[in-house]
């Protein structure tokens, strides 16, 4: 066996402060006074940094009154709104960890996550209050409903000091759920140090300023929105304009009205911006920088975006298990970044490329393994999944295959089975388990297929016990999962291809789909 071939970052290391997440992000909030921290893009209501600091202090006091403290977990299921930020950091200030949930999850899906996380309190927005009440009742948890602001008086409240016993290196700040490289969603244990480290790794290379305005249209419950859009912006004194969800016209109107300077995008949004004639109706001259994340951005699509907007679009790469960033294209060197690459390893980050066939390190191509202070502590209550993803030496196996050219990395394939629909993770194993519970299904495999709107989408190959109606079976699945997990296509076949050990040979089905597409 060959030895490890470790490549460090081309950027100098950064010093990671011994701070809690809220100390790092909002420690300078009160002194910023009347500078605007948050704007509700729907109502136009604004929140200054002083007010945000007071609101977070009030939220922490309310949660502490419900018994929330060091080592606890609080669920947060809300659309993007200023009160999301208040709730998130209110939880963190108490010493508890936040587990965020997509508001479109079914009550069953939400209950499963919160039960696994051991959440004592659930915070929801008005739109999900009924669902939240059902979930909280099933769990025996307290329920807090956000009505556009943190409930109750906030004036004069102050940020509480760090709880006794909170150790940034070991205490959890966030517990997002991710399918990792395979299987059902698992709680990703992110410490204060993990998240703070990633913020200071980004800071020298994506140089946010207090004059920047950022639109939060991508979901804040996702790690990209949570730590990159929300926390990085607030830590630098920028203004965040929230939108409850991405809708093209609303997004463009916010850019024009609030003079947004930085765009955070995902490939499906880039595609809409490139194709839509709506873009020409708005003044977007304030935008000076854009970045795409959550899924690989095609080089040709990036070129079309830059041609239309006259603004370079960078890429970042990472995963929930890395807080999320491991690679980026920095602003100063954007012009020299190889087109189609995800750039260079971030400061304090080591990388390896490990052959998926031999298990040996490669100079040129292989599964990306990363090690750095941003890498998670492990999966909650799941030592087997942790051991499968984190090596004993602290290497995170990403499940993505990359090619390296010099110091730059290109994501070219995946080892992991996840499907990325509009940037959301869809685990084939979850859909397969559900379909196998249907009396008409003998066997099933779910694989990604190209989807113009979502990048890729789940397709199910089913071996049926009896004649089935594909549309009816897809509707049956849709009733039981969040909308982004829906099966978009279903095909009946005679047999699911499997290895001698019984493992589904998904590549065979993916290749079959690719060949069919090429014949069209």
Burial of 2 (0-12, 13-18, 19+ CB in 10 A): exposed
Which of 129-143, 427-441, 453-467 is predicted most confidently?
Answer: 129-143
In a domain, residue 292? The reply is no
Tell me the CA distances in angstroms from 320 to 78, 110, 164, 185, 325, one per residue in order: 19, 19, 28, 11, 8
- Let me know if residue 341 belongs to a domain: no
pLDDT band at 1 (very low <50, low <70, confident <90, very high): very low
Q: Tell me what pLDDT residue 382 has.
A: 95
Q: What angle do CA 365, 371, 372 make, to 5 degrees?
A: 140
Which residue is it, tokens 């989408």? 457
**36 beta partners:** 48
Beta strand 424-426 with 419-421 is: antiparallel
Nearest to 345 by CA among 290, 436, 412, 409: 409
Q: Is-cis flag, bond preceding 324, omega within 30? A: yes
The answer to whether position 487 is within a domain reads yes
The residue count of the chain comes to 520
CA distance 121 to 206: 35
CA distance 8 to 190: 23
139/118 Cα distance (integer angstroms): 9
Q: What is the DSSP letter of 162?
A: P
CA distance 212 to 259: 9
d(CA 408, CA 343): 5
Cα 129–Cα 134–Cα 140 angle in degrees, nearest 5: 110
Q: Can you tell me which residue has the tokens 């460090």? A: 8
How far is it, in rounded angstroms, from Cα 236 to Cα 52?
A: 14
8 A C-beta contact, residue 431 and residue 446: yes
In this prediction, residues 323-351 reach a mean pLDDT of 93
Identify which of 247, 250, 246 has the alpha carbon closest to the alpha carbon of residue 258: 250
Of 51-65, 199-213, 288-302, the least confident: 288-302
What's the whole-number mean pLDDT along residues 372-387? 97
If DSSP codes are grouped into helix, strand and coil, which group holds residue 505? coil
Higher per-residue pLDDT: 40 or 148:
40
> Within 10 Å of residue 212's Cβ, how many Cβ atoms?
18
- Burial class of residue 66 (count of CB atoms within 10 Å of its CB; 0-12, 13-18, 19+): middle
Do the domain assignments include residue 81?
yes
* 8-state DSSP, 225: I
Read off the pTM.
Answer: 0.86
Last residue of a domain, one of 141, 167, 193: 167
The total domain count for the chain is 2
For the segment 147-170, the average pLDDT, to the nearest whole number, is: 84
Distance CA 416, CA 51 (A): 44
Q: Are 463 and 436 a contacting pair, CB within 8 Å?
A: no
Domain boundary pick from 122, 147, 167: 167
What does the CA dihedral 273, 275, 281, 282 come to, rounded to 10 degrees?
Answer: 10
- Output the domain CATH number for residue 106: 3.40.50.980
Domain membership of residue 227 (yes or no) is no
Q: Provide the pLDDT confidence category of residue 517 given band limits of 50, 70 and 90.
A: low
- Mark which of 167, 187, 213 sits at the end of a domain: 167
User: Whole domain around residue 151: which residue ranges?
Assistant: 46-167
Average pLDDT of the segment spanning 167-171: 98
Coil/strand/helix, residue 422: coil
Q: What percent of the chain has pLDDT over 90?
A: 74
Residue 108 inside a domain? The answer is yes
**Strand runs labelled E in 293-395:** 313-318, 325-328, 344-345, 350-354, 361-362, 365-371, 378-379
Distance, in Å, from the CA atom of 381 to the CA atom of 115, rounded to the nearest integer, reads: 12
Domain assignment present for residue 139? The answer is yes
Place 312 in a pLDDT band, splitting at 50, 70 and 90.
Answer: confident
Q: Which pLDDT score is estimated for 336?
A: 86
Domain of 492, CATH number, reads 3.30.300.30
pLDDT of residue 334: 86
When mean pLDDT is compared across 82-91, 391-400, 511-520, the lowest value belongs to: 511-520
Encode pLDDT of 177-233 as tens digits. 998 776 788 999 999 999 999 999 999 999 999 999 999 999 999 999 999 999 999
In this predicted structure, the answer to whether residue 501 has a pLDDT above a threshold of 70 is no
Q: How far apart are CA 462 and CA 444, in angstroms?
A: 4
Long-range contacts of 515-520 (CB under 8 A, 24+ apart): 517/450
């Amino acid at each position: 066996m060959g030895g490890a071939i470790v490549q460090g970052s081309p950027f100098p290391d950064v010093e990671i402060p011994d701070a809690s997440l809220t100390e790092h992000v909002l420690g300078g909030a009160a002194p910023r006074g009347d500078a605007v921290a948050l704007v509700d893009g729907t109502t136009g209501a604004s929140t200054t940094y002083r007010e945000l600091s007071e609101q977070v202090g009030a939220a922490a006091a309310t949660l502490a009154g419900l018994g929330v403290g060091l080592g606890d977990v609080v669920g947060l299921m809300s659309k993007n709104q200023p009160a999301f930020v208040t709730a998130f950091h209110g939880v963190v200030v108490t010493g508890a960890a936040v587990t965020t949930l997509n508001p479109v999850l079914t009550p069953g899906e939400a209950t499963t996550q919160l039960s696994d996380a051991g959440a004592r309190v659930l915070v929801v927005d008005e739109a999900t209050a009924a669902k939240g009440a059902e979930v909280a009742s099933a769990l025996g948890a307290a329920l807090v409903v956000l009505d556009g602001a943190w409930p109750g008086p906030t004036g004069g409240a102050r940020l509480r000091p760090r709880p006794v016993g909170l150790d940034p290196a070991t205490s959890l700040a966030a517990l997002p759920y991710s399918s990792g490289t395979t299987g059902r969603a698992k709680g990703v244990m992110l410490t204060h140090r993990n998240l703070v480290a990633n913020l200071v790794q980004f800071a020298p290379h994506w140089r946010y300023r207090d004059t920047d305005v950022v639109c939060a249209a991508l979901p804040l419950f996702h790690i990209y929105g949570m730590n990159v859009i929300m926390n990085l912006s607030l830590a630098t004194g920028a203004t965040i304009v929230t939108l409850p969800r991405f809708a093209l016209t609303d997004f463009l109107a916010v850019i024009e009205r609030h003079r947004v300077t930085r765009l955070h995008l995902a490939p499906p949004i880039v595609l809409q911006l490139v194709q839509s004639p709506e873009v020409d109706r708005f003044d977007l001259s304030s935008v000076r920088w854009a970045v795409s994340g959550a899924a690989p951005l095609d080089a040709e699509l990036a070129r079309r975006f830059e041609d239309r907007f006259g603004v370079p679009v960078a890429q970042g790469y990472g995963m929930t298990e890395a807080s999320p960033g491991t690679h980026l294209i920095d602003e100063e060197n954007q012009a020299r970044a190889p087109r189609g690459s995800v750039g260079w390893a971030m400061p304090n980050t080591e990388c390896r490329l490990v052959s998926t066939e031999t298990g040996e390190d490669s100079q040129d191509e292989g599964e990306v393994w990363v090690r750095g202070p941003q890498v998670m502590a492990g999966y909650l209550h799941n030592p087997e999944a942790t051991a499968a993803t984190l090596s004993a030496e602290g290497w995170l196996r990403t499940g993505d295959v990359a090619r390296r050219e010099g110091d730059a990395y290109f994501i070219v394939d995946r080892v992991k089975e996840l499907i990325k629909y509009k940037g959301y993770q869809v685990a084939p194993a979850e859909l397969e388990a559900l379909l196998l519970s249907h009396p008409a299904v003998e066997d099933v495999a779910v694989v990604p297929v190209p989807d113009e709107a979502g990048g890729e989408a789940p397709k199910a190959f089913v071996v049926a016990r009896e004649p089935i109606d594909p549309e009816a079976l897809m509707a049956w699945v849709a009733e039981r999962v969040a909308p982004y997990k829906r099966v978009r296509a279903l095909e009946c076949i005679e047999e699911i291809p499997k290895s001698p050990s019984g493992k589904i040979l998904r590549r065979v089905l993916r290749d079959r789909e690719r060949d069919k597409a090429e014949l069209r």
